[in-house]
Amino acid sequence: MTRLPNLASLPGRSVADPAGEALFISDLHLSPRQPQLTELFLHWLATRARGAGALYILGDLFDAWIGDDDDSFVDVEAGLAEVVKGGTHCRLLHGNRDFLLGRRFARRTGIALLRDPTRITLAGEPVLLMHGDLLCTDDAPYQRFRRRVRNPLVRWLFLRQSLDRRRQMAANYRQQSTRAMASKTAEIMDVNAATVLRYMCRYRVRRLIHGHTHRPADHTLQLDGVPAHRHVLADWSPTIGEVLVSGDGSLAREAVRPLGVATACAG
Ligand SMILES: [Mn+2]
């Protein structure tokens, strides 16, 4: 566990968000092709996430979401609904892979959908939450693609297709995206430093939490000559996941491991 700077040491209004711990996750990329990953997440939901004050899912929970009428993830929806029933405030903002998560999903699970970005208060401090793709402004072709697929007409046309057709289109997109990423440098696919500062200034925060880049790290930057923080969430795999936990005025990273792995790895 890595301890991070004390939240209470930073200026902010003392408005209480849901009491208790707040958990932040993103980029699980759940998919029917990786049942062990889904199992890892469901187990974590039923154990560690239970009874937390809040659970924030910052995008790309699903590797692809082709519409709320798809029933490929009923087990995940049920697991999330249980956490909500247990009194945890669950909130989700869309990632680039699951931006079609809609009202019916929200109704079935009890999750509140957030705008990207959303400003919350954590231990009295304003904190900005984003998926992270909006920060990757060096990748101009991706930003154009993002605007195109989020156009209401394009979404409407997509959602009118049959589920099979949509599945096929999502698979094609995945292939194209893998090819496109292979031709882009690591720098182009990371956040743009000036864009990060612009968002933090606009929303008047000194702390930003996001995912998307799959480069988990806690960055300290200078904002008007004062230190500010950018926490990048980790992506999950079937063998390990990670949660950023806010509680007692501090932030910590916590590993999520499959059952039995700790003993299997001993020695
Ligand atoms: Mn993403």
All structural domains of the chain: 7-265 (3.60.21.10)
Ligand 1 centroid, distance to 60 Cα (angstroms):
5
Q: What is the pTM of this model?
A: 0.90
Burial 1-30 (b: 16+ CB within 10 A, else e): eeebeebeebebeeeebeeebbbbbbbbbb
DSSP 4-50: ---GGGS-------SSS-EEEE----B-TT-HHHHHHHHHHHHTTST
Ligand 1 centroid, distance to 148 Cα (angstroms):
16
- Residue 112 is predicted with a pLDDT of 97
> To which H or E segment does residue 265 belong?
helix 261-265
- Residue 147 is predicted with a pLDDT of 95
- Residue 18 is predicted with a pLDDT of 74
Ligand 1 centroid, distance to 9 Cα (angstroms):
31
- Residue 249 is predicted with a pLDDT of 82
- Residue 34 is predicted with a pLDDT of 97
Ligand 1 centroid, distance to 223 Cα (angstroms):
25
Average pLDDT of adjacent 10-residue blocks, the chain of 267 residues: 43 52 98 97 97 97 96 97 97 96 97 97 94 96 93 95 95 88 89 97 97 97 96 98 93 92 48
Ligand 1 centroid, distance to 157 Cα (angstroms):
23
Ligand 1 centroid, distance to 42 Cα (angstroms):
21
Ligand 1 centroid, distance to 11 Cα (angstroms):
30
92 forms bridges with which residues in the sheet?
57, 113
Give the count of beta carbons closer than 10 Å to the beta carbon of residue 196.
Answer: 22
114 forms bridges with which residues in the sheet?
93
Give the count of beta carbons closer than 10 Å to the beta carbon of residue 98.
Answer: 23
